[in-house]
Structure 1
Amino acid sequence: MGVRFEELAWRETPIGEISLRRRHDPALDADVYEVKLDDEYLMSSAFPVAEIELARLGLAPLTGETLDVVVGGLGLGYTARTALEDARVRSLLVVEAIEDVIDWHRRDLLPFAAGLAADPRTRFVRADFFAAVADGGFDPEEPGRRFHAVLLDVDHSPRHVLHPSHAPFYTVDGLRRLAALLHPDGVFALWSNDPPDSEFQRTLTEVFPTSVAHVVRFPNPLQGREAANTVYVARR
């Protein structure tokens, strides 16, 4: 049996106290890794299905032989690691606001994300994803660079943001700035903890010709029921 509980990392940040914890869950008979922001749970290794599907669903519509991809929000690394499993991905730019989160991966604190930091296709950019969109670019080495896909998992949902400064991104103007950083036929995919939001879907359709809200269902053994997240996939 693993350690019953261990705090692997902790840091005060501009948006609150972020921590990485490992605990042994007797119900799952496994070590579970969790990220908390203050008293809120951001993500858990017990339920990675939707984070994995964010990458799979986001890359699936693309037909190119080589893809340049942005992941907004590193977290436990499931989305970024899954994106690298697609052989077409030639570059992965991971935009993460908190240096400590990047450091978790460089120190290999997360065994299920092993190889992410060492993969030559991966480059970490310490930056606020939403400020980068507003400023017109993700890659500080190539301002205005365009990408084939942007996969975003930062806020709980478009309505439940971690910081008020994120809210303008989920408007028509914010999404138009994002779309300008995509190649023609490029994809924007977004994870949400909430059910499909009809108002946000209408906002997406004002910017992107096509958009779909995928409901991703998975078992929650801790609560003995099925859970669901949403992955929005919109294409230029």
Structure 2
Amino acid sequence: MSALFEELDYAPTPIGAISLRRRRILALETDVFEILLGDEHLMSSLFTASEVALADKGLAALKGKGWDVLVGGLGLGYTARAALAHEAVADLTVVDLLEPVIRWHREGLVPMQTELADDPRCRLVQGDFFALAASDTGFDAERPGRQYDAILIDIDHTPERLLHGGSAGFYTAGGLRALQRFLKPGGVVGLWSDEAPDEAITGLLGAAFAEAWAEPVVFANPLQDGREITQAVYLGRKA
């Protein structure tokens, strides 16, 4: 049996100290990995349904194959891994602000170990997603202005509950419209939220994209006798 608690890494970052820890939940007979920014929980390996749904629902809205996909936010890697499970994905770029998070994947400290770092279709890039989205050149320094079939964003808790102030200007009709510069015609942008669908957020995407809709993600919480949790994936399509 594993130890009941272990802090796997702790590191300062420009937005606060970040830590990766593993806890043994005896009632479930399982190990849970968690990422914390200060005292705030960013992600848990116990709750991944909506992170997976962000990739699955976003890519289900595309046609064809040979897709170039961009994921904003790495975390424990569940959105990225779900995207790579689609054979139509030819290239995946994952941008994360925090160097320690990328290092955890390269060193195999996370549950999926080095799976993402070892996949030849996947590139892990340290950078500020929101600053790159507002830039003239975009997300690929070697191919300025590069466009993607899908841009999937799993960073803030919701567009109204931000991790830090650097993303505030992004969640506006103007900020979202600017992101379309890096999206192919007919391409899709997806936003993850840890709350149930909100018509105001769907309306915000509708003001920026030709088409917008919300997908509820419902799953059982094993820590609360299976009580259902509802989170959301918001999707917008470029004309």
**2:235 aligns with one of 227, 233, 236:** 233
Q: Secondary structure at the match of 1:87?
A: coil
Matches for 1:168-187 after TM superposition, within 5 Å: 168-187=169-188
- Cα distance in 2 for partners of 1:217, 1:27 equals 22
Deviation at 1:200, TM superposition (A): 1.9
- Counterpart of 1:200? 201
Contact kept, 8 Å, 2:193 with 2:232, in 1: the verdict is: yes
Deviation at 1:138, TM superposition (A): 0.7
Matches for 1:63-82 after TM superposition, within 5 Å: 63-82=63-82
Q: 1:120 to 1:168 in 2, by over 3 A?
A: same
Matches for 1:1-236 after TM superposition, within 5 Å: 1-112=1-112, 114-136=114-136, 137-224=138-225, 225-236=227-238
- Cα distance in 2 for partners of 1:193, 1:201 equals 15
Q: 1:27 to 1:60 in 2, by over 3 A?
A: same
Deviation at 1:164, TM superposition (A): 1.4
Contact kept, 8 Å, 1:76 with 1:113, in 2: the verdict is: no
Q: Secondary structure at the match of 1:117?
A: helix
Q: Return the letter of the residue paired with 2:175.
A: G
Contact kept, 8 Å, 1:77 with 1:113, in 2: the verdict is: no
- Cα distance in 2 for partners of 1:34, 1:94 equals 19
Q: Return the letter of the residue paired with 1:47.
A: F
- Cα distance in 2 for partners of 1:113, 1:69 equals 22
Deviation at 1:197, TM superposition (A): 2.1
Contact kept, 8 Å, 1:161 with 1:167, in 2: the verdict is: yes
- Cα distance in 2 for partners of 1:40, 1:28 equals 23
Q: Secondary structure at the match of 2:112?
A: helix
TM-score (normalizing by structure 1):
0.97
Number of corresponding residues: 236
Deviations 1:166-205 (A, max 9, x none): 1110101110111111000000011001222222221111
Q: Secondary structure at the match of 2:176?
A: helix
- Cα distance in 1 for partners of 2:180, 2:109 equals 34
Contact kept, 8 Å, 2:106 with 2:114, in 1: the verdict is: no
Deviation at 1:112, TM superposition (A): 2.8
Contact kept, 8 Å, 1:22 with 1:34, in 2: the verdict is: yes
Deviations 1:92-150 (A, max 9, x none): 01101111100110011123354211011111111000000011301111111000000
- Cα distance in 2 for partners of 1:147, 1:113 equals 27
Deviations 1:199-234 (A, max 9, x none): 222111111111111110111111221111110011
- Cα distance in 1 for partners of 2:230, 2:26 equals 23
- Cα distance in 1 for partners of 2:17, 2:224 equals 27
Q: Return the letter of the residue paired with 1:194.
A: E
Gaps of 5+ in 1: none
Q: Return the letter of the residue paired with 2:5.
A: F
Q: Return the letter of the residue paired with 2:27.
A: A
Contact kept, 8 Å, 1:213 with 1:230, in 2: the verdict is: yes
Identity, in percent, stands at 51
Q: Secondary structure at the match of 2:42?
A: strand
